[in-house]
Amino acid sequence: SGNSQTLTDASGNGLNLTTFWGANSSGMDCTIGGKFGYGCSLDGTDDYIRILDNDLLDLGTGDYTFSAWVNPASNPAVAYIVRKSDSGNTNGYQIYGASGIIRVALNSGTILAQSTTTLSTGIWQQVTVTFDRDDKVHLYINGTEEASGDISSLNGTDLNAAAALFLSYSSSFWNGKIDQTRIYNRALSPVEVRTLYDSAPGPVVYYNLDENTGTASVNDTSGNANTATMTGSMTSADWVPGKYGSALDFDGTDDALTVATASDSYVDFNGSEAFSGGAWVYVKTMPGSGNQDGIITKYDETSTLRGYRLILENDDADTTGNFQVDIYDESADQTITATGANDTVNPNTWYHVAFTFNGGTAGAAGDLKLYTNSVLTGSNSSNASFLGLEDVAVDFNVGDYDATDAVANNTAFTGVIDDVRVYNYARTQKQIVEDLNAGHPAGGSPVGSQVLHFQFNEGVGATANNSGSLGASLKGIISGPSWSNNGKFGKTLSFDNSDDRVYLADNDSLDPRTGSFTGSAWIKVNSATTPHDIIIQKGANQATAVGYWFGITTSGTLDLGISDGSSYLVNFVQSNTNVGDNAWHYVAFTWDPALGATIYVDGKKDKFTAATSSVDFNSTSVLNIGGYSAATFTVDGLIDEVKIYNFALSEDSIKTDYNQGKSAVLGALGTNPTYAPQAANQEYCVPGDTTSCASPVGEWKMDENTGVNAYDTSGNSNNGALGVGSSVPTWTVGKIGSALNFDGTDDLVNAGSATTLDDMSTISVTAWVYARGAGETLGRIIDKSTDTSASNGYIIGVNGAGTVTLRVDHGATDLNCNGSVVDINSWSHITITWDGTANCSGVLFYKNGVQVSTSTTTNGGAGRVSDADQSLIIGNNSATDRTFDGKIDNLKLYNYVRSPAQVAWEYNRGGPVGWWKLDECQDGTLYDASGKGNNGTWYGTGGGTQTAVGSCTTASTAWGNGATGKFNSSLNFDGTDDYVDIPDQSYLRTTTQSFSFWFKSSTAPAVFGGVISHTNNADGYNVLQTSSGKIRAYRRISGNWRYVESKSSVTDGAWHHGAAIYDGTTISFYINGLLQGTDTDASATDFSNTNYLLGKYPTTYYFTGQIDDVGVFNYALTATQVKTLYNSGAVRFNQ
């Protein structure tokens, strides 16, 4: 009685604890395994912990948070966790368990908040209470709010008590363990409470092996200085690429990392201490028959006191093996073992292997667990004779056993080991996922936290590939659903409410087992036609079928059923939110056997159902998505981004999952309102453009780089079969990924004659082509006809001069039009559009995003001939005598006419056809960064404040005065005679056009100052500054002036962005992304032989100030694109 010891306050405030225990001889033990490291065990009879009175612990009128991890051995009528009361028991506060229900109360007896959840015995749970005097008292269990109560009426003394604070208290002592007790003088937010629950200490030993150099030792980056010695014959050559960064290659003979027993206290566990360990391993050679190669060991094979070991073993002397973890007890007679199934580890493959031991001393089943790639692959059976881990006086080793072990040469690991970690507590499965992900948070990691992740972005075929952590071991079979480009993110699958589903074979990683679990998906569906139409389902089709069933009801709500094999623990509980509205929704469910199940909709908690279970949920059923095996319970709509996690995501992690695994998501593939912002359709849409931009009816990316098919990724399954024999084109490096190489003799790809390719009234074709020559006569890019003359169809080919030709069977006379000339021995992007008319005026040719002239051989006759019976051939015709000579890549076929803006967008995301960044900082040549080489020349030596171009380091020069630009440097113009002359080009004279530029001005001109001019002094485009300091965008045709002016002067000496746009009928002008106005002008355009000028309008109108980053576009920018340019988006034109 009265025995005590001091527990130090780690906050630095000196609020140390003193432990007390009575005369019943049981004593308080603060050296037992806690939630993390050590904790205290109280006997429920007379044990308590005290902090002497301190004003810091009186709530008064301030805010406050109390948090502790507790593990009750029993739940008596009253058991205090914390109490602070005065002698009259009137003032102060208390947090206690009442038969397992947690209550927050005043010492007067008034209950402020009470949980609905009862604490479970024998497991760790976190209790947190926050007092927010501007709000309420909030009670949380395991990071989730259980209850709240009004405290607005409390005065400053109700929560104060001139007394000590106790953990456990007289006559109602706590029976169980307490650890990680924290007190804050502020109210933690709900997010902070959840973060506190999810947080855990770092490893006590951590060898990330990223030194990549040295032969003597490796560093412990845990901060505990457990430097390991490189023993055996390790050399600098043993540093090799690892799973993350570098790693070490162990030779299987005597290589090891060793911490001597005199220095290994951080890994010297014993008795009831909990701990965990893990590493990434790459097995090169399996152990010999009956041998066990060490991965992480503190183990003596020859001693009667053996310790613990994580090993690779091979019982049958073949080329595969299994992982195993063993722990021997204090008697050295008893052991507990967790082992993976035999023949599950293959050589030349990376595995993350980890184990956890919860510190049990009675050998209960499940005390020791083994995880492979974060999946539980083994746990120990019950061994009542086990007495707890025995520490042994041998070295701690990585890659072998103790060096003094007589059988050491039979226990050395052969392969690469990386990222070794040891913790002094039992890691959760979620935390093991974080270790597997190199420390990134589970649910928000750039590495796959999910065991299963079907992105459904293949766009072709009958296999759904898994991008989760288990990779190709979990492939889905697509039975019925069709591909769609209208996904939530990229492509997706469309389910027809008939017999469609995706399924995959049973795998333990898809079952909760005894742990927690999460399933999520994006859905765009209608209400169910039968109850429980399936989103994700594995078992649970009846109460006695273990598993889970997540679906949608006939009323459009979600429902969730979870069965333990004897009854429904969660009996098809329905969400509050209707998701059967044919709009995209994020839906998810979590299962935690200590708490229950939660349904989430669009990142928000929607419905919670309390339920507990200790049953091993191990269903042998297949996993179904979108439907059931008997063509029942099938969804009507789209399902995308299906994920399975082998742990329960927290509310915050659900939000991260909802946001694609990112804390925030900005931007989109496109902005067309017809599709989801990140849908694959948006790839074909110009941001801000409402013009129809449907995805192609045929898209052959040719990125397979192997096999006998070029798959159609449009979703229409117009897959191309490579020819046979000598007609097979070869795979080669393409413009984007791989491409197909056609030999100019007989190679072809046959894409068939599906209805989606037949009799299109309008057509657009785009492709990257690399011509080595013209090939055979009019070598085909595509051919949908019966002969060499385009009979009964159409062809697009390259003639002897390298000119691209479109020929259509149009009755008595073919439509025969010529356009762009492909480059020889280099890549060209070509686009051909046809509006369906019989004249070549309806055919447009583009090369590298720029329209080129069309010439007419013949216009068509009356009546186009159907091509419905013809196959689409790529690179040839069906007779193999019109072969293209070169490479074809990324071929697309649309059933409508693509606009000039869409053509430019497809070529290079709409980059400029002229781009003068003005970053040279020296000399008088201003280089064109668009890739077209149309360089400008500076003039200005005749007078003014600067008479030389100079450099950015020379004063009073064009470069020197413009050294600080909007982006890097700029050019300064003195308003007297400075300007830049840029040669005229045909691609700079288009019927639609845009200018983008940055300028900085402090002085208005006397009359006008030319910023950008493309004019012959009579007709043309101009951007001018007026005498009032405003900026005007002009268009003048035949003396007809049309312009838009900025709303205010811009002579403030600051940088401003300007954009002048003409779409064929309307002039629009923007300053800093904001529309200043529009004016209508539909007059014709012809500016032949007129150079571009920067800083000058012809004659004597010069600009005073700086100009930077000038771009000319051959189409009309949208308002969205203007804002993107103003905000420096697309990393300045994809650079």
pLDDT above 60: residue 1135: no
> 914-1134 has which fold?
Jelly Rolls (2.60.120)
436 phi and psi angles, rounded to 5 deg: -60, -35
Tell me what the mean pLDDT of segment 467-489 comes to: 91
pLDDT for the residue numbered 58? 72
DSSP code, position 21: B
pLDDT for the residue numbered 579? 96
pLDDT above 50: residue 903: yes
Per-residue pLDDT band at 2 (split at 50, 70, 90): very low
Task: Write the pLDDT tens digit of every residue in 187-203.
Answer: 999 889 988 998 888 99
Which of 309, 308, 305, 269 shows the shortest CA–CA distance to 287? 309
pLDDT above 90: residue 578: yes
CA distance 660 to 986: 44
Which residues, 6 or more positions from 724, have their beta carbon under 8 angstroms from its beta carbon? none
CA distance 426 to 417: 22
pLDDT for the residue numbered 4? 66
Report the CATH architecture of 6-198.
Sandwich (2.60)
Per-residue pLDDT band at 31 (split at 50, 70, 90): confident
DSSP code, position 365: T
Buried (b) or exposed (e) across 1108-1131, using 16+ Cβ within 10 A? bbbbbbbbbbbbbbbbbbbeeebe
pLDDT above 90: residue 30: no
Per-residue pLDDT band at 409 (split at 50, 70, 90): low
pLDDT above 70: residue 281: yes
> Is-contact 1042 1080, C-beta < 8 A?
yes
Per-residue pLDDT band at 88 (split at 50, 70, 90): low
CATH code given to domain 205-427: 2.60.120.200
Q: Which residue has the higher pLDDT, 61 or 906?
A: 906
Task: Indicate the SS3 state at residue 193.
Answer: helix
CA distance 696 to 894: 4
Per-residue pLDDT band at 664 (split at 50, 70, 90): very low
Q: What is the CA radius of gyration of the chain?
A: 37
> Is-contact 352 307, C-beta < 8 A?
no
Task: Indicate the SS3 state at residue 642.
Answer: strand
pLDDT for the residue numbered 332? 56
Domain-wise residue ranges, the chain: 6-198, 205-427, 452-658, 698-907, 914-1134
Where is average pLDDT lowest: 282-291, 729-738, 760-769?
282-291
Q: Is the dihedral of CA 230, 235, 239, 240 positive or negative?
A: negative
pLDDT for the residue numbered 973? 97
CA distance 1116 to 903: 12
Per-residue pLDDT band at 3 (split at 50, 70, 90): low
Q: Which residue has the higher pLDDT, 95 or 632?
A: 95
pLDDT above 50: residue 965: yes
Which of 17, 15, 12 shows the shortest CA–CA distance to 42? 17
Q: Which residue has the higher pLDDT, 86 or 513?
A: 513
Give the angle 551-556-559 at the CA atoms, nearest 5°. 35
Question: What is the pTM for the complete model shown?
Answer: 0.71
Query: In this structure, what token pair is assigned to residue 39?
Result: 């904790």
pLDDT for the residue numbered 616? 86
Per-residue pLDDT band at 988 (split at 50, 70, 90): confident
Task: Write the pLDDT tens digit of every residue in 7-22.
Answer: 888 888 888 888 887 6
Task: Write the pLDDT tens digit of every residue in 587-603.
Answer: 999 998 878 999 999 99
Where is average pLDDT lowest: 366-375, 408-417, 1119-1128?
408-417
Which of 9, 122, 143 shows the shortest CA–CA distance to 70? 122
pLDDT for the residue numbered 1134? 46
Task: Write the pLDDT tens digit of every residue in 317-374.
Answer: 677 889 999 988 866 567 888 888 777 899 999 999 999 998 877 788 889 999 999 8
CA distance 741 to 732: 6
Task: Write the pLDDT tens digit of every residue in 822-852.
Answer: 888 999 999 999 999 999 999 999 999 989 9
Q: Which residue has the higher pLDDT, 178 or 8?
A: 178
The type of residue at 992 is T
pLDDT for the residue numbered 925? 97
Q: Which residue has the higher pLDDT, 746 or 25?
A: 746
Q: Which residue has the higher pLDDT, 167 or 1134?
A: 167
Pick the CATH number of 452-658 from 2.60.120.200, 2.60.120.280, 3.30.1950.10, 3.40.640.10: 2.60.120.200
CA distance 287 to 322: 10
Task: Report the percentage of the chain scoring pLDDT > 90.
Answer: 58
Q: How far apart are the first and last CA of the chain?
A: 76
pLDDT above 70: residue 405: no
CA distance 783 to 753: 12
Q: Which residue has the higher pLDDT, 625 or 1085?
A: 625
CA distance 511 to 644: 9
- Residue 1068: left (phi > 0), alpha (psi -120 to 50), or beta? beta
DSSP code, position 519: E
Query: In this structure, what token pair is assigned to residue 239?
Result: 């540093």
> Is-contact 479 495, C-beta < 8 A?
no
The type of residue at 42 is L
Q: Is the dihedral of CA 960, 965, 970, 973 positive or negative?
A: negative
Task: Write the pLDDT tens digit of every residue in 422-462.
Answer: 999 999 888 998 898 877 766 655 556 789 999 999 988 89
Per-residue pLDDT band at 939 (split at 50, 70, 90): very high
Secondary structure of 398-458 in the HEC alphabet?
A: ECCCCCCCCCHHHCCCEEEEEEEEEECCCCCHHHHHHHHCCCCCCCCCCCCCCCEEECCCC
Tell me what the mean pLDDT of segment 144-173 comes to: 80
| Pairing of β 205-207 and β 414-423 | antiparallel
Q: Does this chain's domain 6-198 share its CATH topology with 205-427?
A: yes
Task: Write the pLDDT tens digit of every residue in 780-813.
Answer: 999 999 988 889 999 999 987 789 999 999 988 9
Tell me what the mean pLDDT of segment 527-552 comes to: 91
pLDDT for the residue numbered 1129? 46
Query: In this structure, what token pair is assigned to residue 20?
Result: 């007390």
pLDDT above 70: residue 217: yes
Which of 654, 684, 662 shows the shortest CA–CA distance to 671? 684
pLDDT above 60: residue 406: no
Which of 72, 12, 68 shows the shortest CA–CA distance to 42? 72
Number of C-beta neighbours around residue 1042 at 10 A: 17
**Helix, strand, coil shares, percent, the chain, to 5:** 5, 40, 50
pLDDT for the residue numbered 195? 85
Per-residue pLDDT band at 270 (split at 50, 70, 90): confident
pLDDT for the residue numbered 170? 80
> 698-907 has which fold?
Jelly Rolls (2.60.120)
pLDDT for the residue numbered 1082? 67
pLDDT for the residue numbered 1? 35
Residue 652 CA: distances (Å) to CA of 143, 250, 603, 1124: 11, 41, 9, 31
